[in-house]
Structure 1
Amino acid sequence: MQRRTFLSLPALGLAYGLTLPAANAETSSTKLVIADQSELVRNLLEASGERDKLNLELPNFAGGPAIYEAIRAGALDIAYVGDTPPIQARAAGTLLPIIASFTRERAQYILTSRPGLVINKLAELKGKKLSYVEGSGRQVYLIEALNRTGLSLADVDLVRLRVADLPDAIRSGAVDVAVLQEPHVTRLTKQVGASPVLDPEERHILPSTSYFYARPDVLADPAKAASIGQFLAAFTRAATWSNAHQAQWGQDYYVTFQRISQDDTKAILASQSPYVLQTSTEAIAHHQKLIDILYQAGAIKERFDARQSFVDTYDKIITASR
């Protein structure tokens, strides 16, 4: 694959409030390539009936670092990522503008311990072998979990892994605790006796925040920009649909696609709070908090201004569709 010259942060000069080419969500049909994770975007669009209205490719990835490399290579137009990848991209000198945010009040990540180890309090993480996935949303989640009990990264044994390796690392006992998501937590609990950290504070570490970010040259292309508007309108409607049709969404995604039992699916759904689709203005404060957490932990060398990570081009579309 031919690598494209990628715009660095100084060359790009994007900032919050910059007006990009207008997005015409009604007429655009230009194809987009969008990075997916756990095939969530694909399933959400299909279950809600929004998929047929769009011209998309949705390659699936395991984690933000792999997506970052693909978008740097010009293989992707936009990407669904966790809350940390846009920050790590900026730390590497590349500004990938955030075009949309969606969040749940309760965390999607769950600190999960290996079979034979029960963690009752976050303070018991001290000295343990913890999975560490730099550039993934799991990174900031783990740092903040340690912050909550007065610990730091220096107080634990970090084991650097890829996202795809986390379930096996818990299954085999290669790490004591990993930051996992459903359905892996439920599967490992059932299969090998892994267990979530029991401290009630763990469920309140950080909300579950995800972003769509874009290649700047894609945003500068009027046809692509219009298609992005069409996609974000559809995704916003799909997420809103899933809030109102939780049982059907659970059947389609967890039971049919993920092969989770009906009872376990009900438990997963009960643990989740509704999707909230945010405009850029609404998302800035939390993004700044994430930047500050990483900076104070020494994970990034510069404290960025969160406002420069966003563009408000699609705020009206998101507001109208949610």
Structure 2
Amino acid sequence: MSALPLSPARRPVPGVFVALGLTLAIGWLVVAIDGGQLFNQSTTVSLLHVAAGLGFVAVGQTLVILGGSLDLSVAYVVSLSTLVAAETMNGSNAALLPAIGLTLLVSAGIGLFNGLLVTTGQINPFIATLGVGLLLKGYLDSRYDGPAGSTAPALVQTLGYQRVGPVPLSFLLLLAVAGACWFLLSRTRFGHHLIAVGGDPEVARLSGVRNDRVRVTAHVLCSLCAGLAGIYLASRLGSGAPRVGTEGLYDLESIAAVVIGGTALAGGRGGVVGTVGGVLLLAGIDAIFNQLAVDAFAKQVVRGVIIIAAVAVYARRALRKADR
């Protein structure tokens, strides 16, 4: 039997890591000239904590985008998850596991609802997930004026602040989740079906792929990753925060990380390895700008330029391949 062609999810994505290395090198030089130090322990720990929060959401976003869909509700799922986790724990270590289980169950339910709207309801993913996000926003705004609940001390001490050297436990968990998703995309039937659906839904359907089931599963996994991000942020904050997801721009930032990492917004090409690189690149820019005390407006301008440049580069590559 001849070997199967290398799937898009398994192709190396070196470009974003080259950009990451250049960004950190230039940032280190600029910060050093300014009299600061970029690669001290506190900056490294902070960078990896930022990467962990965004990374969980971005890895999940990668799955739905690969399948030709999108999820704009993730920021509100993150906020809701912090509240479900913190209020269920209410400062009790004994309630830690039930709280985590309930948070993931609620997140999965939202993902299932998103997936059914997109597939069974035949609603455009942008509109469907935006609508679900607004429903969650209305609930959060009407029920909460500020932080609520209290995170179990055991979760704060482990996921929130424990480190292995300079590497936070949360970042190691992110790598584990990304590794699991890489395996799912590269080594399982579901992964190949997801990429096939994102590449050409009609061809996938004629090949026997159950498109709707694949997309619904992707949306459930995406919301589960957002739920994990909420649990992590609750461990960092010590309570639930009804606006932490939107204030962190996790919906748009996650899409940006996915695009910078080389995943096509149209679906069918990319993977989580590049997404992790995109997350680290965005977190690295934050770290450099924080060291230089650059204002928030300039940060967003640079982020926008990077995203536009990344999309332009990948679009030109796609055109060159199409012309061959």
- In which range does the TM-score fall when normalised by the shorter chain? under 0.3
State TM-score, norm by structure 2.
0.25
TM-score by length of 1: 0.25
- More strand as a share of residues: 1
Structure with a larger share of its residues in helix: 2
